[in-house]
Amino acid sequence: MKDQNLIKITNDRIDKLFREAQNAINIEFSRRYIIIMENLSKKMNITLPANIKKSYCKKCKNLYKRPNFRIKKGLIIIKCENCGNIRRIPINQQFQSQNKF
Ligand SMILES: [Zn+2]
């Protein structure tokens, strides 16, 4: 059984780390915060919220700032401006979670 209190603390920390990543002074710092956040969620076996998961590149941990995106056959195709990694997200999923792109 999972400790509910511990889950709450972890979620708070994930939230804080994500905010720090968004306000970080440079890309290295924000990447660092995202790596810490990912490790924390893995360690605690918690899935990151959908809006957080979609807002950074999984490959280089770069927060999308000016992503290159196109819509094709019900998918949103996002290309990372840093490493060029391509990601496909179904459109209906996008609307459900009300992402801020
Ligand atoms: Zn990338």
Q: Domain boundaries in the chain?
A: 1-48, 53-101
At 68, is the pLDDT very low, low, confident or very high (cuts 50, 70, 90)?
A: confident
Q: How high is the pLDDT of residue 95?
A: 56
Q: Cβ neighbours of residue 13 under 8 Å, at least 6 residues apart? A: 37, 40
Which pairs with CB-CB distance under 8 Å and at least 24 residues apart come from 17-26?
A: 18/52, 21/56, 21/63, 22/63
What is the rounded CA–CA span in Å between residue 27 and residue 33? 10
The 3-state DSSP class for residue 6 equals: helix
Distance 75 CA to ligand 1 centre (A): 19
Asked whether the beta carbons of 69 and 81 are under 8 A apart, the reply is no
* Averaged pLDDT, 5-24: 94
Distance 45 CA to ligand 1 centre (A): 24
Range with the poorest average pLDDT among 14-18, 35-39, 47-51: 47-51
| 97 or 16, higher pLDDT | 16
What is the rounded CA–CA span in Å between residue 88 and residue 14? 24
Stated pTM of the model: 0.78
Distance 15 CA to ligand 1 centre (A): 21
At 97, is the pLDDT very low, low, confident or very high (cuts 50, 70, 90)?
A: low
CB atoms near residue 14 (< 10 Å):
20
